[in-house]
């Protein structure tokens, strides 16, 4: 059977989204879709514009790490222009994680769990990562770039050696080729739905859904932050998307960091 490749027309055929995917900027290869999207956002690119590529040569991950982006994965960035103060958009990475998890579940029938803040895992292996950056105009967000990288049909041997034990791809966990065009349509659908819910004030219900899909909440964790580390039981997230921990010395909340589970699976 021939394996489908990602292409601009097929991935938007029959798309029913209201905002996201209204403009598609498609590339075979770029350094980083986030960089392209950021440059477009500094101009007058429309909200909902999606920049996507079949591979990236300089993909960027959280905390300044590189994000390996070989052919077979899906790499896209969405330009958003929420009319909100910067402080109000902090739950957005989690909202995006929820969308990615649902798109993965629809296409694999596997449980795609959310590891705080925004890794998506299947059977403990990272299959997707999310990087959200924003730029302000005064108090308000001028634009937000939502970058999403998914190991769709990625061959694990094409990833750097140090990632090969911790990363998975949807093809390898299911044993089936994932149609990248169908997957993209599903992903854009969930992003569109959840972003509009978020903008309409339904953040709390989205955070509840996030918690119900999370592999972090209820486990003992260590979170490495820029100020050291915090250990405790992850008991929830607050309305800003921060992780709430019960530590030996009381409750703590962490805005960002790297979370490691201390509970053996």
* CA–CA distances in Å: residue 192 to residues 103, 156, 210, 248: 12, 30, 16, 41
d(CA 83, CA 143): 9
- Kindly state whether residue 67 participates in binding ligand BTN, applying the rule CB under 6 A: yes
Nearest Cα residue to 72 out of 87, 57, 53: 53
Q: Which of 54, 62, 102, 125 binds ligand BTN (CB under 6 A)?
A: 62
* CA–CA distances in Å: residue 53 to residues 5, 22, 56, 167, 193: 11, 17, 7, 20, 23
- Kindly state whether residue 153 participates in binding ligand BTN, applying the rule CB under 6 A: no
3-class state of residue 260 by DSSP? strand
Q: Which is nearer to ligand BTN, 76 or 141 (CB)?
A: 76
- Among the residue ranges 15-23, 40-48, 56-64, 239-247, the one whose residues contact ligand BTN (CB under 6 A): 56-64
How many residues sit in the footprint of ligand BTN (CB under 6 A)? 19
Is the omega angle on the peptide bond into residue 117 within 30 degrees of 0, that is, cis?
A: yes
- Kindly state whether residue 34 participates in binding ligand BTN, applying the rule CB under 6 A: yes
Q: Which is nearer to ligand BTN, 67 or 189 (CB)?
A: 67
What is the nearest approach in angstroms of ligand BTN to the Cβ of residue 60? 4
Residue located via tokens 């089936």: 176
Residues 116/97, Cβ–Cβ less than 8 Å: no
What is the nearest approach in angstroms of ligand BTN to the Cβ of residue 121? 11
Sites for ligand BTN among residues 126-145 (CB under 6 A): 129-131
Write the interaction track for ligand BTN spanning residues 81-120; mark x where CB under 6 A is met and - where it is not.
Answer: ----------------------------------------
- Among the residue ranges 29-37, 82-90, 164-172, 248-256, the one whose residues contact ligand BTN (CB under 6 A): 29-37
- Kindly state whether residue 32 participates in binding ligand BTN, applying the rule CB under 6 A: yes
The most distant pair of C-alpha atoms in the chain lies apart, rounded to whole Å, by 59
- Kindly state whether residue 169 participates in binding ligand BTN, applying the rule CB under 6 A: no
> Which secondary-structure segment (H or E) carries 208?
helix 203-212
- Kindly state whether residue 59 participates in binding ligand BTN, applying the rule CB under 6 A: yes
- Kindly state whether residue 20 participates in binding ligand BTN, applying the rule CB under 6 A: no
DSSP code at position 45:
P
d(CA 262, CA 107): 30
What is the nearest approach in angstroms of ligand BTN to the Cβ of residue 76? 6
Q: Which is nearer to ligand BTN, 25 or 56 (CB)?
A: 56
168: CB partners within 8 A, 6+ apart: 121, 122, 123, 125, 126, 127, 151, 156
Residue located via tokens 């929820």: 98
Q: Which is nearer to ligand BTN, 80 or 232 (CB)?
A: 80
Q: Interface with ligand BTN by CB under 6 A: which residues? A: 32-34, 56, 59-62, 65, 67, 75-77, 129-131, 147-149
């Amino acid at each position: 059977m021939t394996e489908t490749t990602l292409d601009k027309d097929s991935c938007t055929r029959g798309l029913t989204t209201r905002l996201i995917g209204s403009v598609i900027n498609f590339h075979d290869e770029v350094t980083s879709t986030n960089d392209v999207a950021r440059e477009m956002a500094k101009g007058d690119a429309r909200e909902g514009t999606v920049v996507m590529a079949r591979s990236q040569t300089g993909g960027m991950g959280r905390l300044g790490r590189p994000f390996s982006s070989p052919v077979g994965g899906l790499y896209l960035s969405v330009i958003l222009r929420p009319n909100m103060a910067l402080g109000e958009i902090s739950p957005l990475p989690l909202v995006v994680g929820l969308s990615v998890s649902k798109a993965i579940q629809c296409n694999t029938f596997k449980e795609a769990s959310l590891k705080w803040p925004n890794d998506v895992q299947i059977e403990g292996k990272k299959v997707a990562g999310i990087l959200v950056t924003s730029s302000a105009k005064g108090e308000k967000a001028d634009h937000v770039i939502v970058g999403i990288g998914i190991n769709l049909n990625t061959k694990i041997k094409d990833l750097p050696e140090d990632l090969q034990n911790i990363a998975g791809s949807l093809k390898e966990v299911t044993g089936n080729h994932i149609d990248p065009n169908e997957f993209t349509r599903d992903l854009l659908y969930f992003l569109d739905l959840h972003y509009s819910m978020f903008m309409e004030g339904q953040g709390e219900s989205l955070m509840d859904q996030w918690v119900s899909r999370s592999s972090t909440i209820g486990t003992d964790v260590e979170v490495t932050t820029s100020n050291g580390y915090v250990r405790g039981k992850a008991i929830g997230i607050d309305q800003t998307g921060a992780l709430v921990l019960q530590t030996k010395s009381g409750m703590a909340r962490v805005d960002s960091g790297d979370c490691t589970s201390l509970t053996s699976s």
